[in-house]
Chain A
Amino acid sequence: AQTVTQSQPEMSVQEAETVTLSCTYDTSENNYYLFWYKQPPSRQMILVIRQEAYKQQNATENRFSVNFQKAAKSFSLKISDSQLGDTAMYFCAFMALLPTDKLIFGTGTRLQVFP
């Protein structure tokens, strides 16, 4: 069975600084997807970034980038130039394609951005 571990329950960062959130996972699958979702107080889950396991190049979306280490089963999220609006819960998630493309989530990291 796949598992996702986020070892940092809470993180804080000053506005404009850079912060890295950690995520490790366990799977025997070779083909899968990894995601970071953001959940602000509104409860709406918002996709931040995704990575296909077969791609060696790390995904980047504006201020958000990942460090994907397939052999180490590590998938960290780096947020550059942090903004107050980045304050939220961040969930790392794993998706294998078979038998069902359900998402398996970590327990989340609460990020607080201070002015």
Chain B
Amino acid sequence: GAGVSQSPSNKVTEKGKDVELRCDPISGHTALYWYRQSLGQGLEFLIYFQGNSAPDKSGLPSDRFSAERTGGSVSTLTIQRTQQEDSAVYLCASSPTSSYNEQFFGPGTRLTVL
């Protein structure tokens, strides 16, 4: 079946603009995660959604970052007033349930803030 998809693949924006990154998880997966991969760094957890439960936002680096998940499926990560330090690859992952221990990753969105 189809894997996790993300759009756009690449996004170039100017400092101060808002951007939206989209994630389509694998159909039927109830858990969804966002991670950030900065140049030369490992992946950093941002936010986690599980079904209808309140999301775990503990990894969001500032209040310029927000995310929502509509209808328990598609998720959008929004970064307001982008800064150059926001430049990174943003990866989305999904898993069948929160107790299932494998996460399936999408190809990521490379964000470049000029």
Q: Is the CB of A107 within 8 A of B41?
A: yes
Q: Is the CB of A107 within 8 A of B42?
A: yes
Q: What are the interface flags for A18-34 relative to B under an 8 Å C-beta threshold, 1 for contact and 0 otherwise?
A: 00000000000000010
Can you report 5 A-B residue pairs in the complex whose CB atoms are below 8 A from each other? A50-B102, A52-B101, A91-B43, A106-B42, A107-B42
- Please count the residue pairs between chain A and chain B whose beta carbons lie under 8 angstroms apart in the complex: 60
A interface residue count range (under 10 / 10 to 19 / 20 to 34 / 35 or more):
20 to 34
How many angstroms between the C-alpha atoms of A54 and B9 in the bound complex? Answer: 39
How many angstroms between the C-alpha atoms of A93 and B40 in the bound complex? Answer: 16
Q: Which residues of A contact B103 (CB under 8 A)?
A: 47, 103
Q: Name the interface residues of A11-63: CB closer than 8 Å to any CB of B.
A: 33, 37, 42-47, 50, 52
Interface, chain B (partner A; CB < 8 A) = 31, 33, 35, 40-45, 48, 56, 58-59, 89, 91, 93, 95, 98-99, 101-103, 105-108, 110
Q: Which residues of B contact A73 (CB under 8 A)?
A: none
How many angstroms between the C-alpha atoms of A104 and B48 in the bound complex? Answer: 13
Q: Which residues of B contact A47 (CB under 8 A)?
A: 102-103
How many angstroms between the C-alpha atoms of A42 and B3 in the bound complex? Answer: 14
Given contact pairs A100-B56, A102-B45, A107 touches B40 in the complex (Cβ within 8 A): yes
Q: Which residues of B contact A107 (CB under 8 A)?
A: 40-42
- Of A6, A97, A99, the residue contacting B99 (CB under 8 A) is A97
Given contact pairs A100-B48, A100-B56, A102-B59, A45 touches B42 in the complex (Cβ within 8 A): no
Given contact pairs A43-B89, A100-B48, A108 touches B42 in the complex (Cβ within 8 A): yes
Q: With a 10 A CB-CB cut-off, give which of A43, A102, A105, A108 has the most chain B CB atoms.
A: A102
Q: Name the interface residues of A85-115: CB closer than 8 Å to any CB of B.
A: 91, 93, 95, 97, 99-108
Q: Which residues of B contact A100 (CB under 8 A)?
A: 48, 56, 58, 98
Q: Judge if A79 is at the interface, Cβ distance under 8 Å.
A: no
Q: Judge if A4 is at the interface, Cβ distance under 8 Å.
A: yes
